[in-house]
Amino acid sequence: MNRYFFALNLSHKSKKQLIRWRDSELALPCHPVAGDNLHITLAFLGVLTDEKKQQLLTGAGQLADTLRHEDITPLKINRLGYFKRPKVLYLANDDIPDWQNKLAAGLTKQALDAGLNQEQRRYLSHITLYRKVRALPGELPLVNMLTPIDRFSLFQSLSTATGVRYQAVKTWHLTSSQSAG
């Protein structure tokens, strides 16, 4: 069963920049996230019926339309963090712009309206770099990157022989009236 989530898409250039930084500044002996899987999660959805998926696709399209007049500023990635229980090392933008908060809150509301459980906690914008991190390096490197964002997608998580792969089901542009699917 495939699991779904909404996330901000990172450009190929941004992914390469993040991987280059990760490999030069961290190079940890654990499980790095594949470059193609780098993203910024907006809302976890879990397993979806076709009906709920269609409901969420419609709602996401309407939400994207309401954000077309927003100033979609680049994200300033400026902090390295660690989630202890899932043992995940991530990069974050401490200053979350209004457009990103509106999008995350709107998609979470869409999920709740579709009857899906959502965690009741403050949204934390982050990019997972490593999984199964047993111990942090003694000194964490500083980070300061501007990451332009122009779209978000509904992704499905696919299990493959080489590991998990995230595939976009539908994509919405935040900066024009285009929509790719």
Non-local (6+) Cβ contacts of 44 within 8 A are: 3, 5, 118, 119
| Active site positions, annotated | 39, 126
Reference 10, options 84, 81, 91, 71; nearest CA is 91
Q: Kind and range of the H or E element at 18?
A: helix 12-25
Per DSSP, 141 falls in state P
